[in-house]
């Protein structure tokens, strides 16, 4: 348990990125916003801290936001990143051309304006494009050297399964030794003594502990398997649209 706590404590702080509104070509604003929300949540799922245009307004104020987000050169990216304490700015554009969608992404450093990462996404329809956006977020994360975030439930349940399984094995060994001693005591043709009774009670208690620990170990093992299959907690985005709302479920790594 101590090792688990130390491991969690040593995890690196997330990289902060600023995500201004996307540049769009022949894409409705609410649809572009939905795509952007999906891409941002995929970045968060991979360990990034993403600051959106809404966050910028609350931090810098509306007028300052308009000045910085309305500027497209790399110098603005440096200034905006520094103002928000971010490592970089995600410049994104999306177009609907020839019956499909295509987007390009360029992460600009807030220190010197050079490109930290680049990616693209394309799809013939919305569903295919969303899958491609997930892959693009993974590509950006790889360029930053990110691995999927450690699943705390997986670590905890796996450790618990190991500890409980070991405890169960020890308890059964103790029970076996106690009951063997009881058999020897009874085989000596003596009357049932207090020692024999104590041996019997100790053996039964050890068996109960063994079965309990074994059952808990199985449960923890199942939890570890489920956590390993899930990979990470699900991420969901709900984006309002003219016809109601669009729900996006985050894909796996």
Residue 120 backbone dihedrals phi, psi, to 5 degrees: -145, 160
Cα 197 to Cα 191, 202, 206, 253: the distances in Å are 11, 9, 14, 58
Contact 34, 22 (CB under 8 A): no
Q: Residue 156: which residues within 8 A CB-CB, separation 6 or more? A: 4
Q: Provide the pLDDT for residue 202.
A: 72
Residues 6+ positions from 228 with CB-CB distance below 8 Å:
151, 154
Closest CA to 114 of 152, 87, 151, 85: 87
Q: Is 113:78 a contact under the CB 8 Å cutoff? A: yes
**Which pLDDT does position 174 carry in this prediction?**
75
> What is the per-residue pLDDT for 62?
58
Instruction: Report which DSSP code applies to 88.
Output: E
- Strand, coil or helix: what is 19? strand
Q: Which of 36, 114, 23 is nearest to 75 (CA)?
A: 114
Q: What is the reported pLDDT for 146? A: 76
Q: What is the mean pLDDT of each run of 10 residues along the chain (253 residues)?
A: 40 83 94 96 94 79 62 69 88 93 95 92 96 96 76 67 75 73 64 64 74 72 61 43 43 42
> If you write DSSP's letter for every residue of 110-162 in order, what string do you get?
TTT--EEEEEEEEESSHHHHHHHHHHHHHHHHHHTT--PPP-HHHHHHHHHHH
**CB proximity list for 168: less than 8 A, separation 6 or greater:** 209, 210, 211, 212, 213, 214, 217
Distance, CA of 78 to CA of 107 (rounded, Å): 11
Distance CA 165, CA 159 (A): 10
């Amino acid at each position: 348990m101590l090792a688990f706590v130390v491991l969690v404590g040593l995890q690196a702080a997330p990289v902060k990125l600023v995500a201004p509104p996307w540049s769009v070509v022949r894409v409705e604003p609410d649809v572009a916003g939905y795509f952007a929300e999906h891409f941002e949540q995929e970045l968060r799922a991979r360990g990034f801290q993403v600051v959106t245009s809404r966050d910028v307004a609350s931090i810098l104020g509306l007028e300052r936001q308009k000045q910085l987000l309305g500027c497209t050169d790399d110098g603005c990216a440096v200034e905006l990143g520094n103002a928000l304490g971010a490592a970089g700015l995600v410049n994104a554009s999306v177009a609907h051309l020839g019956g499909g969608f295509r987007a390009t992404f360029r992460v600009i450093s807030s220190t010197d304006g050079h490109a930290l990462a680049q990616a693209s996404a394309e799809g013939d329809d919305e569903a295919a494009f969303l899958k491609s956006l997930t892959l693009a977020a993974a590509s950006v994360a790889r360029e930053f050297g990110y691995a999927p975030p450690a699943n705390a439930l997986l670590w905890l349940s796996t450790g618990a399964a190991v500890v409980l399984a070991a405890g169960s094995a020890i308890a059964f060994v103790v029970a076996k030794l106690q009951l063997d001693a009881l058999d020897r005591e009874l085989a000596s043709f003596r009357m049932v003594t207090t020692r024999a009774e104590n041996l019997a009670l100790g053996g039964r208690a050890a068996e109960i502990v063994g079965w309990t620990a074994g059952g808990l170990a199985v449960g923890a093992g199942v939890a570890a398997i489920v956590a390993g299959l899930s990979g990470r907690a699900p991420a969901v985005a709900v984006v309002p649209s003219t016809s109601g709302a669009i729900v996006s479920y985050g894909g796996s790594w």
